[in-house]
A = this chain, B = another copy of it.
Amino acid sequence: MQSPYLIFLGDANLTGMDKMGAGIRQWRGELCLAQHRLPGCAFDLDLPEMAPAQAQAAGCRTMIVGVVNVGGFIPENWIATIVDALESGLDVAAGMHTRLIDIPAIAEAAARTGRSVHDVRAPTRSFAPGTGRKRSGKRVLTMGTDCAVGKKYTALAIERELRARGVDADFRATGQTGLLIAGRGVVIDAVIADFVSGAAEWLSPDADPAHWDVIEGQGSLAHPAYAAVTLGLAHGSQPDAIVLCHEPGRAKMLGLDYPVPTVSALAEMALQATRLTNPAAQVVGVSINGSNLDRGSIDAVIAGIEAETGLPCCDPLLHGPGRIVDRLLG
């Protein structure tokens, strides 16, 4: 996929919908040249605003649809913009379940212009069912009280911290954004259900005993739509260590009338889930996403979680994940 990128945010306006664009902006900011939004868009990635033709003239090579939505589909009113991007000389990438190439107007425009479309969520290979066989090497998995609470950011921050300390570590992407950031991985929620744990086993193969795979979690064990993906990923990952991820102040699961579990309740669920394939699994820390809190509130939340759980707690973007990594390696 050719960079630099134009990030397209459509008219996305619900909490968390910008997380693909925001993730690429945060972790591959050097590849992001501009953003393009439609009227009604509630997000801003702090990039210059450019239409596709202008972005192409400025050097962009690919427009990334930087939005996630429930069901993973391309809204009808974005198709014209995607066709415009292809006609302006840009490739287009998206991470939806509905593939760009399956939308006739887009497929036709791609063929006519000779541009490429990248459907990064669709698996590019098949997988075997899981076996539960114990693999060598060490693994840490991030698990969330909900979707969009910081599981990917936490895993990326831990990979960076481990490498800074000279530890051999690899971030293992399990979502479309993580895959674009890392350049490899498997979008685990797009795998056929029977093969979820098998795909997770494939993702973090046997490794040197001192090597850490830092596996991006997905969904939440407490989420009525996505817990199956979360459980299959946990079973296949066989994590030695779990880092819990939480957004303080969020009362309801994203888009649903279900309560968000407490960190302690999630810790219990996470251990029950992971112990099937790794009885030695332990929770080593709590990562919070304090982006909606002021600094004083963050400090109070962290003190409360540490008192309640006895685990190191931090906001990885604010404090770095050092204290969690101390516990991980300790």
- A-to-B contact residues, CB < 8 Å: 70-72, 97, 128-132, 188-194, 196-198, 222, 224-229, 231-233, 235-236, 256-258, 272, 276-277
Residue ID in chain B nearest A256 by CB atoms: B132
Residue ID in chain B nearest A276 by CB atoms: B224
Interchain residue pairs with CB less than 8 A apart (13): A97-B192, A129-B225, A129-B226, A130-B224, A132-B258, A189-B193, A192-B192, A192-B193, A197-B227, A197-B228, A198-B225, A225-B235, A227-B231
Q: Which of A72, A193, A236, A258 has the most CB of B within 10 A?
A: A193
**Nearest Cβ on chain B to A235's Cβ, whole angstroms:** 5
Tallying the copies of this chain within the complex gives 2
Q: Please give, as numbers and ranges, the residues of chain B lying within 8 Å of A198 by CB-CB distance.
A: 225
CA distance A276 to B197 in the complex (A): 22
CA distance A270 to B132 in the complex (A): 21
**Nearest Cβ on chain B to A128's Cβ, whole angstroms:** 6
CA distance A257 to B128 in the complex (A): 17
CA distance A256 to B128 in the complex (A): 14
**Nearest Cβ on chain B to A85's Cβ, whole angstroms:** 26
